[in-house]
Amino acid sequence: MAETEAELRAQMVAVARRMNASGINQGTSGNLSARLPEGFLITPTSLPYERMEPTDLVALDLDGQPLPGASGALRRPSSEWRLHADVLRQRPEVQAVVHCHSIRATALACHSRCIPSFHYMVAVAGGPDIRCAPYALFGTPELSRLALAALHGRLACLLAHHGQVALGRSLDQALRIAIELETLAAMYLEACRLGEPPLLGDAEIERVLRQMGALLYGG
């Protein structure tokens, strides 16, 4: 757990690089944020992660205004700052947000398909499915509104014709969930080659959620 803003900045750059190294993102698409006491830190727009330094991260309040006295360079924040801000405002338990365009999750999202309970690991996102928010232009309040509805009671969702969003109590957890979502999307696409797979029922997903809670699974 980062204790200071400087530690959080260093952690965010490391997690951003891990995101690209994991294969769930490429180039400068995708962005990350982490909560600060007065707002949040977010990756700057269009800066390759391998060139990104901790001082390049942008500190904003939840209305998107630069935090007074924030350390760091005066980079422009990610074009998705509003999505991050709106998630952090509406979900007080969330400390970090990862957004990326992972290939298989995005492929499903391009068909506006949710990921149903074909596999028990769907429950890592908090319920019996991972929803897909309808399409809206990136960076808009409409995208935030639709994403927040799809994220209700969940730690991840798909964004139609766009990508995915994952939330966590830490940057590490948000990245783990984003990677898990991509893995589930790959498994689901593969399973669908033999036809739509049978699903686990809501009662079984409830048992899975209890088991995950008891084992502190994915924490």
Catalytic residues, by residue number, are: 80
DSSP string covering 121-184: GGGGGTSS-B-EEPP--TTSHHHHHHHHHHTTT-SEEEETTTEEEEEESSHHHHHHHHHHHHHH
The upper half-sphere exposure of residue 60, i.e. CA atoms within 13 Å in the direction of its Cβ, equals 26
125: Cβ contacts below 8 Å, ≥ 6 apart: 154, 155, 156, 157, 166, 177, 180, 181
| Of the candidate residues 6, 23, 26, 46, the single one contacting ligand 13P (CB under 6 A) | 46
| Of the candidate residues 10, 17, 29, 172, the single one contacting ligand 13P (CB under 6 A) | 29
Nearest distance from C-beta of residue 121 to ligand 13P, angstroms: 25
| Of the candidate residues 2, 17, 18, 45, the single one contacting ligand 13P (CB under 6 A) | 45
Query: CB under 6 A: which stretch of 63-71, 77-85, 117-125, 184-192 binds ligand 13P?
Result: 77-85
Asked whether the beta carbons of 126 and 150 are under 8 A apart, the reply is no
| Of the candidate residues 20, 30, 105, 144, the single one contacting ligand 13P (CB under 6 A) | 30
Q: Per CB under 6 A, which of residues 137..166 are in contact with ligand 13P?
A: 138
31 touches ligand 13P by CB under 6 A: yes
142 vs 202 by CB, closer to ligand 13P: 142
